[in-house]
Amino acid sequence: MDYEDHGTRSPALSVHGLSKRFGDRVAFEDISFEVGIGEVFGFLGPNGAGKTTTVRTLGTLIAPTSGSAVVAGIPLTPENAARIRRRISIMPESPGLYLRLSVAENLECFADLYQVSNPRERMEGALKAVNLADRAQDVCASLSKGMRQRVALARALLGDPQILFLDEPTAGLDPVAARDVHELIDRLRRRGVTVFLTTHRLEEAERLCDHVAILNTTLRTIGRPDELRDRLFAKTLAVTTRAPLPDPGRVFAGLPAVERWHPDGGCAYRLTVTDPAVAAPAATRALVAAGADVLSISPSNHSLEDVYLRLVGADAPAGAGEEAGER
Amino acid sequence: MSVSIRRIRAIVRKELREYRRTPSIVVAMGIIPLIFLVQPLVVVFGLPASSSGQLAHAHVLLYLLGIPALTPVLIAAYAVVGERRQDTLEPVLATPVLREEFLLGKALAALVPSAAVAYTVYALCIVFVALFADPAVASALLRWPQILAQVLFTPLIAAWSIWVGMAISAKAGDIRVAQQLGMLAGIPMIALTSLTALDVIHPTLGRALGLAAVLLLLDALGWRIVSAAFDRERLITGTR
């Protein structure tokens, strides 16, 4: 990896106050974040939130209205556009293959556009990575949607990018094909490739991403998925006993790391805690000492979806990005 | 970053492969030249030997310059809007390809088959006239200045048609509309070649050189116009 000027410890992607407007319509506004080298960075948001426009802007396809960014160690300016494009790859949501050409002919064209050395080996390697090595001579029009998506992924790998922008890479794929893509992203991460992943699949983001950002024209939040959960939702323990406790206040009051409690219906209780690892054993001991039959004690399990819905659910969908070709 | 021959070649090769496999383009590239070939041959084969004297002032075969005026427009008009409609433009523009490389690749890919078809049809026409027309008529028609004019003007006219077609293609939102507008834009050039063939515009060496200079200028101007019309952002987002 050759990250110019900033040494190997500088981020792969650094964005400061970036905005894009189409006339008086705002696609995204004042977004700032950094993505480390070799990270998988999830970019989430509803339709029209500005995700695709952000990818296109960072990929030098469209110019930002204001703000600055450094992409793969190169400042994002019109003069640097071609140099940046040599270090990145973008896989748009629509595969955009030449359907009358074969898989190999499609890849050959892009290998030449990226001016890769030993193109034949690179094409074979890319096809092998997406499990399509035996389909090289197939005409793209004859491939299923999932296969086309994988050819587009192989095409994005040809240039050996430092940053790979994947726009909804598993949209329309069956679960097996989606799992293959996830494994490929994992392999790329291990090779030190930075992956910028826009997705609607929150479980995909939760499973793959080191950090996620939630965008709805403006950046709503950014962090590790577990950080976001902790930031938005209080940590709780769900306690279930065989019979209602005669005096639950006496059992739960004063336990270490337990801030408060409330009944959760019947034999269930919810404890708000500061540290589940401390509170759970203490609560177990207290319940046993009180003679209660404990059926379960489990920490709250808020998903990234809960975070997303909390942040975005109440918003009206943004429109500028959608009108500008945002998917 | 400097212009890369490899990237231009990649665009040309991809385009030629696509054209070969697009029936509408293959058919159009075959039918239009045939129409242009048949009309002068019908006229020439019907001429008696006695008309050879009058033919000294006729330039029937210059009519064939309509082929390079019309056929490349069909391809060029498809070049940009065709990619947009297929969603293939964004992946290409996301590579390190420069605007100049993309446009030159597209233009060359339109020029090569168009010029090849135009020259082939002209060669066929010469062979048919030489073999089947009355010998006196044939010797009156097949004059070196006309053959030279055909050879020299074919690429100049084709290049102009290509730039016009690509300028329309870069602005249009629909392939058919782009091709129809391209055909309309080719009419003045066809009118010029037809009027010359009919000797309404009498071709002289001075006029030929003047026209060549104008075409060269128009070709350079066309390149600039197409470059200016090629706006990555508008082509990808459909805005601005």
A155 and A252 in a common domain: no
pLDDT at residue A267 tops 80: yes
Q: Do A152 and B91 touch (CB under 8 A)?
A: yes
Name the residue type at position B80: V
The torsion of the CA quartet A34, A40, A45, A51, rounded to 10 degrees, works out to 70
Query: So what's the ipTM on this one?
Result: 0.88
In the structure, what pLDDT confidence band is assigned to residue A320 with cuts at 50, 70 and 90?
very low
- Average pLDDT, integer, range A296-317: 75
Which of B13, B87, B96 is facing A114, going by the closest CB pair? B96
Q: Which long-range contacts (CB under 8 A, 24 or more apart) does B25-34 make?
A: B25/B74, B25/B75, B25/B78, B28/B71, B28/B74, B29/B71, B29/B74, B29/B75, B29/B113, B29/B114, B29/B117, B32/B67, B32/B70, B32/B71, B32/B74, B33/B67, B33/B71, B33/B117, B33/B118, B33/B120, B33/B121, B34/B121
A105 touches chain B (CB under 8 A): yes
Q: Which of A113, A140, A149 to mutate to test the interface with B (most CBs of B within 10 A)?
A: A113
Q: Is residue A6 part of a domain?
A: no
Which of A23, A82, A109 is facing B98, going by the closest CB pair? A82
Report the pLDDT value the prediction gives residue B8, as an integer from 0 to 100: 96
Which of A92, A114, A323 is facing B90, going by the closest CB pair? A92
Which of B6, B21, B233 is facing A100, going by the closest CB pair? B21
In the structure, what pLDDT confidence band is assigned to residue B193 with cuts at 50, 70 and 90?
confident
In the structure, what pLDDT confidence band is assigned to residue A315 with cuts at 50, 70 and 90?
low
**CB-based contact B66:B36 (threshold 8 Å):** yes
Token pair 């035996």 is found at A134
Beta-carbon contacts of A121 under 8 Å, excluding residues fewer than 6 positions away, are none
Sign of the four-CA dihedral B174, B177, B180, B181: negative
Which of A90, A98, A155 is facing B18, going by the closest CB pair? A98
Give residue-wise pLDDT tens across range A213-247: 999 999 988 988 877 777 777 788 899 999 999 99
The residue segments making up the domain with residue A61 are 13-223+307-323
Which pair of tokens denotes residue A21? 């407007």
Percent pLDDT > 70 in chain A is 93
Token pair 């359907």 is found at A99
A313 and A297 in a common domain: no
Q: How far apart are CA A165 and CA A43, in angstroms?
A: 10
Cα angle A277-A278-A281, degrees, rounded to a multiple of 5: 90
A153 in helix, strand or coil?
helix
Token pair 């090629």 is found at B230
- For strand A236-241 and strand A268-273, is the pairing parallel, antiparallel, or unpaired? antiparallel
Q: Do B17 and A105 touch (CB under 8 A)?
A: yes
Q: Do B6 and A89 touch (CB under 8 A)?
A: no
**A72 secondary structure, DSSP code:** T
A277 and A196 in a common domain: no
**CB-based contact A51:A312 (threshold 8 Å):** no
Q: Is residue A168 part of a domain?
A: yes
What is the domain count for chain B? Answer: 1
The residue segments making up the domain with residue B44 are 5-237
Report the pLDDT value the prediction gives residue A4, as an integer from 0 to 100: 46
Q: How far apart are CA B206 and CA A185, in angstroms?
A: 67
CATH assignment at residue A132: 3.40.50.300
Q: Is residue A184 part of a domain?
A: yes
The alpha-carbon gap from B203 to the nearest alpha carbon of chain A, in Å, equals 45
Give residue-wise pLDDT tens across range A15-43: 999 999 998 899 999 999 999 999 999 99
Q: How far apart are CA A196 and CA A222, in angstroms?
A: 14
Q: Using CA coordinates, name the residue in chain A closest to B23.
A: A100
pLDDT at residue B58 tops 80: no
What is the domain count for chain A? Answer: 2
Burial A60-70 (b: 16+ CB within 10 A, else e): bbbebeebebb
A311 and A293 in a common domain: no
In the structure, what pLDDT confidence band is assigned to residue B201 with cuts at 50, 70 and 90?
confident
User: What mean pLDDT is reported for chain A?
Assistant: 88
pLDDT at residue B32 tops 90: no
CATH assignment at residue A282: 3.30.70.1560
Q: Poorest-confidence range of A50-59, A280-289, A294-303?
A: A294-303
Lateral strand order in the sheet of A25-35: A25-35, A13-22, A66-71, A74-75
Percent pLDDT > 90 in chain A is 58
Token pair 């407007």 is found at A21
Report the pLDDT value the prediction gives residue A3, as an integer from 0 to 100: 43
Smallest CA-to-CA distance from A55 within A75, A79, A27, A78 is with A27
B5 touches chain A (CB under 8 A): no
A6 in helix, strand or coil?
coil
Which pair of tokens denotes residue A200? 């609607």
Give residue-wise pLDDT tens across range A155-204: 999 999 999 999 989 887 888 888 888 998 998 999 899 999 998 788 88
A238 and A311 in a common domain: no
**CB-based contact A84:A3 (threshold 8 Å):** no
The alpha-carbon gap from B213 to the nearest alpha carbon of chain A, in Å, equals 35
Q: Using CA coordinates, name the residue in chain A closest to B19.
A: A100
Give residue-wise pLDDT tens across range A154-163: 999 999 999 9
Q: Do A53 and B239 touch (CB under 8 A)?
A: no
pLDDT at residue B91 tops 60: yes
Helices (H), A130-220: 145-157, 175-190, 202-208
Which pair of tokens denotes residue A23? 């006339």
Beta bridge partners of A195: A40, A164
How many Cβ atoms are within 10 Å of B132's Cβ, its own excluded?
A: 11
Q: Is residue A166 part of a domain?
A: yes
B2 touches chain A (CB under 8 A): no
Q: Which residues of chain B make contact with A56, given a CB cutoff of 8 A? A: 90, 236-237
A289 and A270 in a common domain: yes
